Each structure stands twice: as C-alpha cells, then as structure tokens.
C-alpha cells in the first residue's frame, strides 16, 4: 500500500512540474488591434502595460498589430485584449463597447459605419 501511495505521489509531482513548465514567462504574441495614430499607439500600449505580466508592448499602425511579450504565469492574452478594449480599441477577439469607443479622441475613430 505504501508503494502505491509513493508511486501516485511521485507521478503527481511529475505532472505538476510539467504543467508549470508549459507556461512561458516570455511568450511572444501578436494581436490585431484597431487604431489610427500616435495617440492610439500611446493609449493601446498603456492599456497593455496596465496588465500585470506584460513585459513588452509595441503597437504598429501600419499593420494594426501589437507585439507583446507576456509572462503567462501572471496574465493571459485575453487579459491584455480586455484591457485594450476597455481603453476603446477593438482587438481580434474583444470589441470595445460603444461607450468605451466614444471616449477616444475624434482623430482616433477607426470604425467605419456602413452607409446606405
């Protein structure tokens, strides 16, 4: 009986260690983020850095992508996307509410409304 308990305990420790190793402390991620100008850049990057675990955040207007380095033990990409959306910018997976979008500066408005 003691051998069975010991084997189960060792197996559990091995699985736990492997699960922790799967989380990357320097994961590189690219996320689509809508924006227009340098004010957008500052707002988007500031929102990303507000999330604990974001080590680097650089947004490029040309390709509408933010390049992130995150510590997956502290945050997820979804956490960062939620923070960016809260600042008024749509991401690939999370859209800013109309109220959040309305708060950004007039020159930063990136949504095009369909005109009939």
Flag whether 32 is in a domain: yes
- pTM exceeds 0.75: yes
pLDDT, mean of residues 4-13: 64
Flag whether 36 is in a domain: yes
Flag whether 42 is in a domain: yes
CATH number, residue 99: 3.30.70.100
For 37-71, the pLDDT digits (tens) are 999 999 999 999 999 999 999 999 999 999 999 99
Q: What range does the domain containing 100 cover?
A: 24-108
- Does residue 91 register a pLDDT over 80? yes
Domains in the chain, number: 1
Q: How far is the C-alpha of 116 from the C-alpha of 38, rounded, in Å?
A: 31
Model pLDDT, residue 114: 41
Flag whether 1 is in a domain: no
* 104 and 34 Cβ atoms separated by less than 8 Å: no
The sheet with strand 54-60 has its strands ordered as: 27-32, 65-70, 54-60
């Amino acid at each position: 009986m003691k051998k069975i308990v010991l084997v189960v305990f060792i197996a559990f420790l091995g699985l736990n260690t492997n699960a922790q190793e799967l989380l990357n402390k320097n994961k590189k991620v690219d996320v689509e983020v809508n924006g227009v100008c340098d004010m957008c850049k500052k707002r988007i990057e500031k929102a990303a850095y507000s999330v604990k675990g974001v080590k680097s955040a650089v947004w490029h207007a040309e390709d509408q992508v933010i390049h992130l380095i995150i510590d997956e033990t502290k945050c997820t990409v979804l956490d960062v996307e939620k923070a960016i959306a809260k600042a008024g910018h749509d991401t690939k997976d999370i859209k800013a509410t109309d109220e959040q979008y309305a708060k950004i500066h007039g020159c930063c408005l990136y949504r095009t409304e369909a005109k009939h």
